[in-house]
Structure 1
Amino acid sequence: MKPRANPSFLCGLARRSTGQPRLCVPRCFPPRSCLRGANMLDRRINKLKENLMRQADEALVVRHLVDANPRGDDMLGEVCRAAVLLHPSASFEQALTLARTMAYIVYIDDYLEEEHPELDLADYRRVCQNFLLWPNRDLSQMPLVNATVARKIEEQFREDEVPEEWTAMRRLVWEKSIWTMLQENHWLKHKERVTLDAYLANGMYSSSFPIVQVSILAFSYQDVSQELKNRIFGHICQASRVVRLANDLRTHERESAQGRFNSVDLISGGSAERTLDSARDAVRHLMEEEFEQLKKAIARERRTGITQQFLSHLIDSTQVLLDFYEVPGGRHSQGRPDRALKAS
């Protein structure tokens, strides 16, 4: 196992032209240098937004994030901000691929959640053929915009000469993402009782976080043993549980208004005496416990060699998203200065 040339997420080993923004440095003095870092970050975000807005052949996906999206007033900006914060040392082309990936996930999720909630696990193969390139034998049956976005994501991996060894894992996380979205539709459609454990086991795949992290791995390493891939993927799954809980705290009100549920509802519904506020506190406490378990598991990991740096990055990425989701208080934020930039 060895790092690829210029592993893009590793500060100090990345291409000099795409170094880590100063904003990401934990302490930044004097304040003027923080301002320069913030301006640099904003320029990168705006450049990503402008590039995606110019892509006429994927306008349907991009406009979905711009036109009155119930998730937020500037979902395209949030996607681009997340791409930069999660992968601060990426080349522009890699950051664009990650932003395009997250935009596509939001598009697929809203398609299944809002436009076609009747689709469930029985429709899995058909939905995969609608959005993913590799299950298709006849691409003419795939909507043109879907094929275009999926092809552009794949093209970046070819241009970066990402080894074939990552193809199976990359396809797995995309397929699992669609499966988990359909599983949630199935639960709602059939009014099934769901345990918190079952929800979290499913929900950790339904965000773009595992897809983004596996993409960063693929951009950065080659000749990784399957046993090591499996261990690292286990840590990614643990981090995804933390991110899922943080996202649930942020989106509970919107999802509740749509008749959907998340971990807050499952905890509040488990006890007649528990209020919604106490359920949120319980979710926050669980999120903090999961994050501590992730840190301890990675601290015990001594056999990963160079990928230890990726695992440190994984902890940082998880913390970035807790800040991004503006999860208040808790052990994860103790002793940390307020972020200069937060997601709106």
Structure 2
Amino acid sequence: MITLNLRIFKSMLLPRNATVEEYLAPLFKYAPKHVSIKQSDEPLKKGEPLLGFCLTGGTEAPFLQAALENPENPAIILVHNRANSYASGCELAARLNYEHKIGKRAPCVFCSINDEQSVKSIIGAAATASSFAKKHPNLGVIGDPSPWLIASGYFAEKLPGMYNIDLTKIKIEELVQKSVETNVETALEQIVKNYNLDAFTVRCFDLLPHKITSCLEVSKFNDKGITAGCEGDIASATTMMIIRSMAQSPVFMANATGFEDGKATFAHCTIPRTLCTDSTVDTHYESGLGHAVCGRVKEGQWTLAKLGANGDLMTEVVDVKNPSEISPHHCRTQIVVTPPKRLTKKLQRGEVLGNHFLFVPGNIRDELRIFSEVFKQWKPIQ
């Protein structure tokens, strides 16, 4: 459960028979189930959203004062359909948008709590931003990023910090030594504990000379609630952490493997088994060593996403199915994706943000877009 702090701004214009609880009811009804909203005036952490509710008209000035006192905190203007709340929010949005355009404060986003989809997406994005600002989750990079990740490795090492994620570098030799002494899963558990990691990405191909792999272990950690990625891919691991927080689900990290007849194919050896209807354990695709997951996924609507090194976002809702048969030319778990037209064009032209794409069941496209646009770390122009 993620807790969001809410500030309520009201004036003497509150109708005589109205109550705060009555006006707030739609917000609590439509907010994501994993988000708890509580009234609080406690100081904000750097980057934590300023979540404010215009209970009535005449609340522009006190909300503006709070926003100007917290210039590095994105503002969420919550309004409703009564008591001139909406008008108050519109006036406030005009001023805060101006303050952002001239470089004086972070962005703002406007949300009517009577609009279910807006509440779901904006509060979902804000909850992740608030959680990260308060905790600064720790992403461990175990070994250097793989040398082929020229866009997603160290080139992207500033990306986690943009969203209040800390980065910890760990030598691959530590994992190798511990794995040889015990096993890969135990070694990773020790590293997660010793470095207080909330997530990790591992340079897995450096394990192959020792006749060991980490594919099955990465799958297990994702199922246990610790986000885990492959190849030292910093951009993908960062995206996975954000998606997990929003969707409350493990994430499938996969290579793009081809595009034909309007269908895109993706594959990898590390799918979390909770995303599968059934699965078997095979060997790692490239090496034929160790253990990897060959799964049949839960078909239906999934969200595809990837953050680039500078915080650019690529995301769409896609239809995901299992292939009629497993190809011997790709990683063990394979999916067939029917993309919308705009994603089709990007895939055909290579207008993408790396070789790895992230998938999660359901639709969190709007949450991701709002998060990437509004809740990136921001500093005022001096």
Q: TM over 0.5: same fold?
A: no
TM-score of the pair, normalised by structure 1 = 0.29
Structure with greater contact order relative to length (CA < 8 Å, sep ≥ 6): 1
Which has the larger strand fraction? 2
TM-score when scaled to structure 2? 0.27
- Higher CA-based Rg: 2
Larger helix percent:
1
